[in-house]
Amino acid sequence: MDKKEALRERMRQLTRLNNEVDFSQEDQATCRQVLDSALYRHCSTLFAFFPIAGEVDITPVLNDAILARRLALPRTHRDGSLSFHTVTDLNGLQRGRYQIAEPAEGGVVVPGRGDLMLIPALAYDRGHHRLGRGKGYYDRYLSQHNSVTTVGVCRSYQLVEEIPTETWDRMVDQVISCGILY
């Protein structure tokens, strides 16, 4: 097993071990940092994700974006691609591939300058490197849509010293963990 896959497995184990831990204060601090940031206040569209177990609960940010901006959430496709779709109500999401809540409908939205994308991960480091789940969805998407400002969000145990990288891995512009911007 290579270093990257070993770290991915270690992070999955840590996520399982932390399953019963209350991260609500960390998550709230991260949401406050996002909502108070100039990047969010000035974006026209927020590209984000609906959190699954082990990810920062960003639903307060999603709800704010529905009211104050345009919200776009991802849909995965069999060919390994992602597309983002306008969401006006989180109750309209349905389970997609991998049992992750996705937009059932909504127009396709493409990010551009002035937009903000929040990106989940198994881990981040302070150098803005991301360890995803290993399917490459975000790396492929960001290689085609690289003008959007990207912010990784993670919990304290997901902020690691160093993440091994490959040439195709895409970094994020900033990382927020526990309300602290890196």
If the chain, 182 residues long, is cut into consecutive pieces of 10 residues, what is the mean pLDDT of each piece? 91 95 97 97 97 96 97 94 96 90 90 96 97 92 95 97 92 96 93
pLDDT computed for residue 98 by the predictor: 85
Distance in angstroms (rounded) separating the CA atoms of residues 10 and 24: 23
Q: Which two tokens stand for residue 20?
A: 């019963």
Helices 59-68 and 24-36, axial angle in degrees (round to 10): 30
Domain total of the chain: 1
Distance in angstroms (rounded) separating the CA atoms of residues 1 and 65: 41
Q: From 98, 120, 123, select the one nearest 5 (Cα to Cα).
A: 123
CATH number (domain holding residue 58)? 3.40.50.10420
pLDDT computed for residue 97 by the predictor: 81
Q: Which two tokens stand for residue 30?
A: 């991260």
For 19, which DSSP code? T
User: What is this structure's pTM?
Assistant: 0.95
Distance in angstroms (rounded) separating the CA atoms of residues 109 and 70: 10
- For residue 58, give its domain range: 3-181
Neighbouring C-beta atoms of residue 159, cutoff 10 Å: 18
3-state secondary structure of 116: strand
pLDDT computed for residue 104 by the predictor: 85
Single-letter amino acid code for the residue at 87: V
